[in-house]
Amino acid sequence: MSKLKYVYTPRRRAQRTGGARISLSPILLAPLLLVVVIGGWWVARDTGSTEPAKAPAVLAASCAPGKACSSVTPTPASVSTTARPRQLAPAGGEDPRPITGHSAIVLEEPCGAALFEQNVHMSVPPASLTKIMTALVAVDYTEPDEVVRIEVNGPELSLETDSTVMGIEPGMRLSMRDLLYGLLLRSGNDAAIQIAEHVAGSVPAFVRMMNEKAAALGLTDTHFTNPHGLDDAALYSSAHDMAVMGQELLTNPLLAEIVRTETYQPAWDGPALQNLNLLLGFYEGAIGVKTGYTDLAGQTIVAAAERDGRVIIASVMGAKTEMYADASGLLEWAFSETDSECTPTRPAP
């Protein structure tokens, strides 16, 4: 027997006063409507808008072991695309345009000066930005030409988890370089697992190495539970920590070359890999780094660009639909400040 969904709609009841039904004749109704229309026009003229105020949404912060788990009221930028975000702005400079993400940071190289901040230490799920750390650990313990015997079945993993894969299959033999391209260009979860098992012998052992690397980088907002970024209650990071990881990735020549590559052909009979980061080829000077998405995390991105010798890194977490617009807008704002001394700015009042 099929299940049916019933919808109950209560009938409208006539208003009553002292038990008598209220009735308005057309003669009395016309003047009343005229008063309402004129009154509405007068209010709209004074307020400049007829749109009702929106109540702020409440975002639930990720529960982190050993940390308080409480709801977070986001800044207006996380509620409406027309609201102004909380920010740091150079003295005399214009503010960056509003973003749709609920947390973000903009760093400038080489000193890592924070040019913009919005909820930078909020605990959030990072999605596939996790793979930045996977790559950092991998290059610490392997060589690019090191041959890896493949044991992970990418197509099966894709069916089981409905996630992105590189497409590796058991029996293949690929270089660590090929796997890193599959990890960072195609955001391959199969590549992440294979790298973890090759480097550490098991995924849990590799995850411990990831957390040790995070601690060595001074990242206090981050805890990893897997090498790929699929949602997990104990997997969390922040806009700040992800930006620092992106900054660290760009210091490695191999990884920096990988994340700025649009197309790569591994040593296999399969197709070439296309970079999922659409900022490349779209934003002038874009050099990477990584994008991510899950239902829980929303859209996440660490974007980097280089112009006139300046390197800017923007990290945006929890964007609803506009991560590229958010990232490119923050980058453009940062590059518009031509007087760069790579020194931290003071918070705007």
Q: Please confirm, yes or no, whether 187 is among the known catalytic residues.
A: yes
Q: Which H/E stretch holds residue 264? A: strand 263-264
Q: Residue 113's pLDDT band (boundaries 50, 70, 90)?
A: confident
Over residues 283-321, the pLDDT tens digits come to 999 999 999 999 999 999 999 999 988 999 999 999 988
Confidence check: pLDDT of 70 > 90: no
Determine the pLDDT at residue 16: 35
Q: Please confirm, yes or no, whether 2 is among the known catalytic residues.
A: no
Residue 44 to residues 49, 50, 92: CA-CA distances in angstroms? 6, 5, 34
Identified catalytic residue from 128, 163, 238, 315: 128
Over residues 15-55, the pLDDT tens digits come to 333 333 334 444 444 444 444 334 443 333 333 333 333 32
Domain boundaries along the sequence of the chain: 80-336
Quick one: tokens of 158? Answer: 């894709």
Model pTM above 0.85: no
Quick one: tokens of 28? Answer: 């009395």
Q: Please confirm, yes or no, whether 158 is among the known catalytic residues.
A: no
Q: What is the mean pLDDT of the chain?
A: 78
The single-letter code of the amino acid at 33 is: L
| 48 Rama sector, left if φ>0, alpha if ψ -120 to 50, beta otherwise | left
- Closest listed residue to residue 130, CA positions, set 254, 251, 245: 245
Q: Residue 109's pLDDT band (boundaries 50, 70, 90)?
A: confident
Residue 152 to residues 140, 149, 179: CA-CA distances in angstroms? 22, 9, 12
Q: CA 240, CA 167: separation in Å to the nearest integer?
A: 32
Q: CA 165, CA 194: separation in Å to the nearest integer?
A: 11
Identified catalytic residue from 62, 78, 131, 213: 131
As its CATH architecture, domain 80-336 has: 3-Layer(aba) Sandwich (3.40)
Over residues 143-184, the pLDDT tens digits come to 999 999 999 999 999 999 999 999 999 999 999 999 999 999
Identified catalytic residue from 62, 123, 163, 187: 187
